[in-house]
Amino acid sequence: MKFTDGYWQTLPGVTIHRPRAVDEVVAGERSLTAYAATGRLDTRGDTLNRPLVTVTIDSPMDGVIGVTVEHHQGGVDPRPVFAIAGSTDPVEVTGATFDDPRAALRSGPLTARVSTTGEWALDFEVDGKVVTSASSRGVGLVTDGQGRRFVREQLALGVGDHVYGLGERFTAFVKNGQSVDVWNADGGTSSDQAYKNVPFYLTDAGYGVFVDHPGQVSFEIGSEVVSRTQFSVAGQRLRYYVIAGPAPKDVLRRFTALTGRPASVPDWSYGLWLSTSFTTSYDEKTVTGFIDGMAERDLPLSVFHFDCFWMRQFHWCDFVWDPATFPDPVGMLARLHERDLKVCVWINPYIAQRSHLFAEGKDLGYLVKRADGSVWQWDLWQAGMGLVDFTNPDAVAWYQGKLKVLLDQGVDCFKTDFGERIPTDVVWHDGSDPERMHNYYTHLYNEAVFDLLKAERGEGQAVLFARSATAGGQQFPVHWGGDCESTFVSMAESLRGGLSLAASGFGYWSHDIGGFEGTPDPVVFKRWLAFGLLSSHSRLHGSDSYRVPWAFDEEAVDVTRRFTHLKMSLMPYLAQAGVEAHELGTPVMRPMVLEFPDDRGAATVDTQYMLGSDLLVAPVFSAEGDVDVYVPEGTWTSLLSGERVTGPRWVHETHGFDSLPLYVRPGTVLPVGARTDRPDYDFADGVTLRLFDLPDGHRSTTRVPGADGAPGARFEVSRSGGTVSVVAHGATGAWSVEVVGGASVQVAAGTSAVELTL
């Protein structure tokens, strides 16, 4: 939200009180509290009839400093609040000295320094270097022309600093110059609205910022004042955290420690998911035909998804299979399991009036109410629908009980659709502030479903396909990109959304291969296949047309086979990338800047990504196959063709439908699995370690996870002169080593070490 007319004037009716003079800074055991007047304090009379800004500085954990800016402190503590982790990491608090008239609070590599006299100033240092600052012109207690109150903060942007994140946003990947309202909306992928709004931004300047407010947060990223990021919230209080790097990966590691790490996902979820699509006609015969067709064409399939019309029309959601279409759901699910498939079904948190659950939920008080006690309803999406009140623990248990029936029938996971259109003219069971619940509702919704899956299927076996989220939602993977059009432009905007979500702490991401709206031209579908099957999770899904590859042409079948087999062979590598997402908060699909923060050429790239740390993927967004790919420093090798290219530079290439730029980083030890027919297997048994341009003196450890989190194998690789040595730990089966472009060796089971001559 903008409050000023240019740099010097406020908008009509707007007043801004700024901290002008520091009265006192009080040091606590683990905090600093500063009191700043909103005018000069030349006489005692200057203390009268004006607001006082109270700023508290503390630290919840190493490398994270919290700042609370307050006007009046007498309000009721609002709900909901983000769950913020804390620790007893040491914090150093120091007062002003003769040489330095500033008080300081240090937490690990991050220090906040606040002036104790004169004009208000607050600096943030990472490893002794100032990375951003707040000045007296930035902090503001704002009243607009309608008498509404806001608290605003501005943090300095340095020359060349780039800002990323703020959730899954489909606008430009670099957020500089954008105005962003954090407010969940069902707006598709073609606007500035977003399904997944996260009040956190990442920079390439050594820090990130998380605004601890679950409701609407307005960001002006170098747009109201071009040299600053601005964020504001309604009310009398603003709390934010500055999170230290110095590298972007360090920021994400700390941010996900603060708000929750992504859960680990089952190995089977990395395989190909096939959907009925949305409004198409289907029954068990249709489903079986699709599955038979995939098997006949050697297209490995892991999950079959039933979209909305598995239930009767006008009954969403009653969680009852349409008896006219699926008269034997338990038998059908058993038959699908006999084919070694997992089953996903579509759900949402809305209860249509025609659903038998509406009357039940109304009578039990489990649906969200208006102020007069009536059930909140509207006809958008489902006729007369109500909304499950997940702030009521009994309503959560009720909803989970309905889903458990499906799990007992044989369903394995849920697509948790919707959750964005949450009203603000309602009363919540726990008294939550409706404005703060709008974004937070999706967190409670996905948490309820994920917790049920975890309880019923076990740790590491729970997985969702979720559309909406906010901060902390990364704990409940997987998330997909929502309703995109079936065009190259929408394919590119989907990727930008995924990159922004990755920069917001989300570890896994997917999208509808070929696009959702409409039927893609075969050239779009085939190009999207390569992108989709080189994403963390891969799903064929559409709106009013099927997405089986043979519906397009035979070449689409060949492309599907090639890239599905490739992804299955890369499972030892992808599964380890998933371990990193779970343990460190580093996403599987990574913006280039995350891996190459010191490469200025990588800072703005939004048409490619790193899959894990060592594979560069550049989707092709043209029918002709023309693509420009940025190659960072070093000599990179195409995994598909073996061709080599040296960076840093942009390279123009042309690819057929069975190819795309897929480059391996120099110095990589890439574990390639022995199977191409499924994602869940013993990754270490028969694994091949492919060595790409290891420099002399190279030493690294490559970990190959066991199936679904079981102990795996570890390979220590080193090079000395012309000799490469590999030492295996925990490898019980056979394995092999291949120097790309050179020697290779097969290693028998039980062998723990081998040497190769280059």
**Both tokens assigned to 508:** 């896994």
**Both tokens assigned to 749:** 């089971």
How far is the CA of 44 from the CAs of 41, 133, 659, in angstroms?
A: 7, 30, 75
**163 phi and psi angles, rounded to 5 deg:** -120, 135
Instruction: Return the closest-CA partner of residue 691 out of 711, 664, 712.
Output: 664
Q: Is the peptide bond before 632 cis (omega within 30 degrees of 0)?
A: no
Residue 745's DSSP bridge partners are 737
Residue 338: other Cβ atoms inside 10 A: 8
Strands (E), 157-270: 163-167, 179-182, 197-203, 207-211, 217-221, 228-234, 237-244
State how far the Cα of 730 lies from the Cα of 210, in Å rounded to an integer: 41
**529 phi and psi angles, rounded to 5 deg:** -55, -50
State how far the Cα of 313 lies from the Cα of 749, in Å rounded to an integer: 56
Q: Find how far residue 119's CA is from the centre of its chain.
A: 39
SS3 15: strand
**Both tokens assigned to 712:** 């795996």
Active site residue 408: no
SS3 4: strand
**Are 730 and 684 contacting, i.e. CB atoms less than 8 angstroms apart?**
yes
Contacts of 76 (CB under 8 A, 6+ apart): none
Contacts of 331 (CB under 8 A, 6+ apart): none
Active site residue 680: no
State how far the Cα of 69 lies from the Cα of 319, in Å rounded to an integer: 46
**Are 170 and 493 contacting, i.e. CB atoms less than 8 angstroms apart?**
yes
Q: Residue 37 corresponds to which amino acid? A: A
SS (H, E, C) 678-689: CCCCCCCCCCEE
Active-site residue (options: 186, 224, 483, 680): 483
Active site residue 555: no
Q: How deeply is 71 buried, as exposed, middle or buried, from its count of CB atoms within 10 A (0-12, 13-18, 19+)?
A: buried
Residue 616's DSSP bridge partners are 610, 663
Strands 662-664, 644-654: pairing kind: unpaired
DSSP designation for 310? G
**Are 32 and 114 contacting, i.e. CB atoms less than 8 angstroms apart?**
yes
Contacts of 140 (CB under 8 A, 6+ apart): 3, 16, 17, 18, 150, 151, 152, 153
How far is the CA of 264 from the CAs of 477, 683, 685, in angstroms?
A: 8, 17, 22
Q: Residue 152 corresponds to which amino acid? A: R
State how far the Cα of 125 lies from the Cα of 510, in Å rounded to an integer: 36
Please give the angle made by the CA atoms of 749, 704 and 718, to the nearest 5 degrees. Answer: 80
Handedness of CA 523, 526, 532, 534 (dihedral sign): negative
Active-site residue (options: 161, 318, 417, 595): 417
SS3 453: helix
State how far the Cα of 198 lies from the Cα of 211, in Å rounded to an integer: 9
**Are 754 and 726 contacting, i.e. CB atoms less than 8 angstroms apart?**
yes
Active-site residue (options: 186, 420, 614, 685): 420
Residues identified as active-site: 417, 420, 483
